[in-house]
Amino acid sequence: LVRDLAQVASPAGSGTPLRGADLRRLESIEHAYVLCGDGAIEGVGRMRDLPALEGEVEEIDGSGLSAVPGLVDCHTHPCFAGDRVHEFSLRAGGASYEELHATGGGILSTVRATRAATAEELTAATLRHRGWMRAHGTTTFEGKSGYGLDRDTELVQLEAVRAAGGVPTWLGAHTVPPEFDGADAYLDFLLADVLPDAARLAEAADVFLEHGSFDAAQARRYLVACRSAGLALRLHGDQFSECGAIPLAVELGARSVDHLEATGPEGVAMLAASGVVGVLLPASALFLGRPMPPARALVDAGAAVALATDFNPGSAYCESLPLALSLACTQMRLSPEEALAAATVNAAHVLDRGDRCGRIRPGCRADIVLLDASDWRHLAYHFGGDVVHTVIEGGSVVFR
């Protein structure tokens, strides 16, 4: 039992992602309690309506605190070795992310370090990164492979994400490793030699659709094969340029298309008219000094959007969803209510967990973040601050 909370705030929910004006529909209760049992939420209400409880009840004092659902990070790259702090310095001196990528740095430098690591080291790194995420209120996370780009390392990455409790996504088509002569030859290998096992370990497949990685025809080939193997589909699209990611995502019925920093008005309209969720990654745009995605236009056009960190060593070394919420409000003009729904229930829908994660309501998993503020909006307002007080995951305190 979490008692005497100043406020409990939860997005509304339904069987599908919230879109357009529904993103603002927040349910909030003042002077409230949340009751959990067997890892699930059993009741939420006003303190004065708290029923008499029988048996031994573990109590957490929520005085002065507010509660929001455990945050859901639906786009991260948490399984890697090494870091890219050297490139960070180069970028500070004027080098661009795309230039570093084109000269064999960028993603490929993390691929070299990741291939050289053992399975134990990669699992330990993923667990360490999960710990960082938890400390910022994330109770459910997706984790991509994509730093192996060979059979064994890709599968080890998916296993490491799973072992850390994450939702694994196969990003075999992240970029073309140097031992292959072009993207088509690499895809031949991926689909023949890796997909059968990746499909067993992952829930979704993802592709980086961008100049220098995969074009729309190659992305279609990869995604169609992955869909046939039972995987849900995701795309990294419109990060630097519009290469056809939104039309492809809509055509194939993808769960999401992620990034969208380069998306123009036609893409906004097409995404808004579809069932594909637009995943906004403002920490990545900020970290690379890129324009923010057109989040306001998307929501106003009726799109379903989610918000994630994109945690990775190159384009977003940031595990904080509260910071992403803050950027959503200050840089993309979403309201705190819209940002919260995007980083909870809608992100959960992207991971096919919208029925049980991302809301504080009976029947959902007991994933709750207590904030060190009596008004939950401090989650976005206190930018870069220590707003997370306690994290409860499946009914257990995992961070305090």
Binding residues for N-formimidoyl-L-glutamate: 147, 312, 314
| d(C-alpha 149, C-alpha 208), whole Å | 13
Place of tokens 């339904």: 14
Residue 259: CB minimum distance to ligand NIG, A: 7
Show binding-site residues for Zn(2+): 75, 77, 236, 310
Which is it for the CA torsion 85, 86, 90, 93, positive or negative?
positive
- Name the site residues for Fe ion (rule: CB under 5 A): 310
Residues 35-94 binding ligand NIG (CB under 6 A) are 77
Alpha helices per DSSP H over 14-118: 85-92, 97-102, 107-116
Among 76, 139, 239, 256, binds ligand NIG (CB under 6 A): 239
Residue 393: CB minimum distance to ligand NIG, A: 25
Residue 31: CB minimum distance to ligand NIG, A: 42
Angle at 16 between CA 163 and CA 29, to 5 degrees: 85
Query: Applying CB under 6 A, does 284 fall inside the site for ligand NIG?
Result: yes
Identity at 84, one-letter amino acid code: R
Q: What residues form DSSP beta bridges with 71?
A: 138
Q: Closest CB to Fe ion belongs to which residue?
A: 310
State the number of binding residues for ligand NIG (CB under 6 A): 13
Query: Applying CB under 6 A, does 312 fall inside the site for ligand NIG?
Result: yes
Residue 122: CB minimum distance to ligand NIG, A: 15
Residues with Cβ < 8 Å from 103, sequence gap 6 or more? Answer: none
Place of tokens 């939104």: 246
Place of tokens 């995502």: 249
Instruction: Strands of 96-184 (E only): list them.
Output: 138-144, 167-173
Q: How many CB atoms lie within 10 A of CB 64?
A: 14
Residue 356: CB minimum distance to ligand NIG, A: 26
Residues 97-126 binding ligand NIG (CB under 6 A) are 106-107, 110
Show binding-site residues for 4-imidazolone-5-propanoate: 84, 147, 174, 239, 315
Query: Applying CB under 6 A, does 237 fall inside the site for ligand NIG?
Result: no
Q: Which residues bind ligand NIG (CB under 6 A)?
A: 77, 106-107, 110, 208, 236, 239, 284, 310, 312-315
